[in-house]
Amino acid sequence: MLLLGVLLVDVVRDGIGQLSFDFLTSFSSINAKQAGIEAALTGTIWLMAVCAAFIVPVGVATAIYLEEYADNDRWWNRLIEVNIQNLAAVPSIVYGILGLAFLVRGPLSLGNVVLAGGLTLGLLVLPVVIIAGREAIRAVPASIREGSLALGATKWQTIWRQVLPASIPGIATGVILALSRAIGETAPLIVVGAATFLAFNPSGLDSSFTALPIQIFDWISRPSNDINNYKPLAAGGILVLMILLMAMNSIAIWLRNRYEQKW
Amino acid sequence: MADQVTDWRQEQGEQARTGGPLKRRIGTARAPAVEGPAAERKQAGEAIFSLEGVTVTYSGVAAVRNIGFDIAMNEITALIGPSGCGKSTLIRCLNRMNDLIPGAVVEGKVLYHDQDLYAPDVDAVEVRKRIGMVFQKPNPFPKSIYDNIAFGPRVLGMKDDLDGIVERALRRGALWDEAKDRLKSSAFGLSGGQQQRLCIARCLAVEPDVILMDEPCSALDPISTGRIEDLMLELKELYSIVIVTHNMQQAARVSDRTAFFTVELDEGEQQRTGRMVEFDDTDKMFTNPADPRTEAYVTGRVG
Beta carbons of B141 and A152 less than 8 Å apart = no
The residue ranges of DSSP E strands in chain A, in sequence order, are: none
CB burial class (10 A; 0-12, 13-18, 19+) of residue A260?
exposed
- Please list every residue in chain A whose beta carbon sits closer than 8 Å to the beta carbon of residue B140: 147
Q: How far is A148 from chain B (nearest CA, A)?
A: 8
Per-residue pLDDT tens over the stretch B114-163: 899 998 889 999 999 999 999 999 999 999 999 999 999 999 988 888 99
Q: Which of A41, A28, A23, A55 lies closest to A198 in space, CA to CA?
A: A28
Beta carbons of B142 and A161 less than 8 Å apart = no
Question: Residue B210 pairs with which residues in a beta bridge?
Answer: B131, B240
Beta carbons of A150 and B142 less than 8 Å apart = no
Q: How far is B293 from chain A (nearest CA, A)?
A: 34
What ipTM was predicted for this assembly? 0.81
Does the residue B145 lie in any domain?
A: yes
Q: Please, which residues 146-165 of chain A have a Cβ atom closer than 8 Å to chain B?
A: 146-154, 157, 161-162, 165
- The confidence score (pLDDT) of residue B17 equals 45
Give the CATH number for residue B79. Answer: 3.40.50.300
Q: Give yes or no for a contact between B122 and B22, defined as CB atoms under 8 angstroms apart.
A: yes
Residue A70 has pLDDT above 90, yes or no: no
Q: Which of A143, A152, A263 sits opposite B128 (nearest CB)?
A: A152
- Please list every residue in chain A whose beta carbon sits closer than 8 Å to the beta carbon of residue B125: 149, 152-154
Would you give the DSSP letter of residue B1?
A: -
Query: Above pLDDT 70, what percent of chain A?
Result: 99
Max alpha carbon distance in chain A (Å)? 75
How many other CB atoms are found less than 10 A from the CB of residue B292?
A: 9
Question: Residue B67 pairs with which residues in a beta bridge?
Answer: B54
Write down all domains in chain A, each with its CATH number in brackets: 38-211 (1.10.3720.10)
Residue B14 has pLDDT above 70, yes or no: no
Q: Which of A143, A152, A157 sits opposite B135 (nearest CB)?
A: A143
Residue A17 has pLDDT above 50, yes or no: yes
pLDDT band at B12, cuts 50/70/90? very low
Does the residue B235 lie in any domain?
A: yes
Least confident among A183-192, A245-254, B30-39, B84-93: B30-39
- Please list every residue in chain A whose beta carbon sits closer than 8 Å to the beta carbon of residue B133: 146, 150
- The confidence score (pLDDT) of residue B44 equals 64
Beta carbons of B129 and A152 less than 8 Å apart = yes
pLDDT band at B29, cuts 50/70/90? very low
Beta carbons of A261 and B97 less than 8 Å apart = no
d(CA A90, CA A128): 12
- The confidence score (pLDDT) of residue A52 equals 94
Q: How far is A153 from chain B (nearest CA, A)?
A: 6
pTM to 2 decimal places: 0.81
Does the residue B303 lie in any domain?
A: no
* Mean confidence (pLDDT) of chain A: 87
Residue B248 has pLDDT above 70, yes or no: yes
Does the residue B119 lie in any domain?
A: yes
Would you give the DSSP letter of residue B136?
A: S
- Please list every residue in chain A whose beta carbon sits closer than 8 Å to the beta carbon of residue B151: 148, 151, 153, 161-162
Taking residues A13-26, what's their average pLDDT?
A: 80
Q: Give yes or no for a contact between A39 and A200, defined as CB atoms under 8 angstroms apart.
A: yes
Per-residue pLDDT tens over the stretch B177-228: 999 999 999 999 999 999 999 999 999 999 899 999 999 998 888 888 998 9
Between these two residues, A21 and B31, which has the higher pLDDT value?
Answer: A21
- Please list every residue in chain B whose beta carbon sits closer than 8 Å to the beta carbon of residue A144: 139, 141-142
Beta carbons of A151 and B129 less than 8 Å apart = yes
Residue B20 has pLDDT above 70, yes or no: no
Domain count, chain B: 1
- Please list every residue in chain A whose beta carbon sits closer than 8 Å to the beta carbon of residue B130: 152
d(CA B226, CA A9): 67
Q: Give yes or no for a contact between A102 and A108, defined as CB atoms under 8 angstroms apart.
A: yes
pLDDT band at A109, cuts 50/70/90? confident
Mutate to test the interface with B, among A151, A154, A157 (most CBs of B within 10 A): A151
Beta carbons of B152 and A152 less than 8 Å apart = yes
Beta carbons of A152 and B203 less than 8 Å apart = no
Residue A21 has pLDDT above 70, yes or no: yes
Query: Above pLDDT 70, what percent of chain B?
Result: 83
Residue A228 has pLDDT above 80, yes or no: no
Does the residue B51 lie in any domain?
A: yes
Does the residue B239 lie in any domain?
A: yes
Give residue B131's domain range.
2-298
- Please list every residue in chain B whose beta carbon sits closer than 8 Å to the beta carbon of residue A146: 97, 100, 133, 135, 139
Q: Give yes or no for a contact between B262 and B293, defined as CB atoms under 8 angstroms apart.
A: yes
- The confidence score (pLDDT) of residue A262 equals 58
Mark out chain B residues that contact chain A at CB-CB < 8 A: 95, 97, 100, 125-126, 128-130, 132-133, 135, 137, 139-143, 151-152, 154-156, 188, 199, 202-203, 206
Between these two residues, B195 and A220, which has the higher pLDDT value?
Answer: B195
CB burial class (10 A; 0-12, 13-18, 19+) of residue B103?
exposed
Q: Please, which residues 163-182 of chain A have a Cβ atom closer than 8 Å to chain B?
A: 165-166
d(CA A85, CA A90): 9
* Mean confidence (pLDDT) of chain B: 83
d(CA B112, CA B118): 10
Does the residue B94 lie in any domain?
A: yes
Instruction: Decide the pairing of beta strands B115-116 and B131-134.
Output: unpaired
Q: CA-CA-CA-CA torsion for A207, A208, A212, A217, nearest 10 degrees?
A: 180
Beta carbons of A147 and B135 less than 8 Å apart = yes
Beta carbons of B133 and A150 less than 8 Å apart = yes
- The confidence score (pLDDT) of residue B2 equals 45
Q: How many residues does chain A have?
A: 263
- Please list every residue in chain B whose beta carbon sits closer than 8 Å to the beta carbon of residue A152: 125-126, 128-130, 152, 155-156, 206
Taking residues A134-148, what's their average pLDDT?
A: 92
pLDDT band at B230, cuts 50/70/90? very high
Angle (nearest 5°) at CA B198 between B194 and B199: 120
Taking residues A169-186, what's their average pLDDT?
A: 91
Q: Which of A166, A160, A165 lies closest to A141 in space, CA to CA?
A: A166
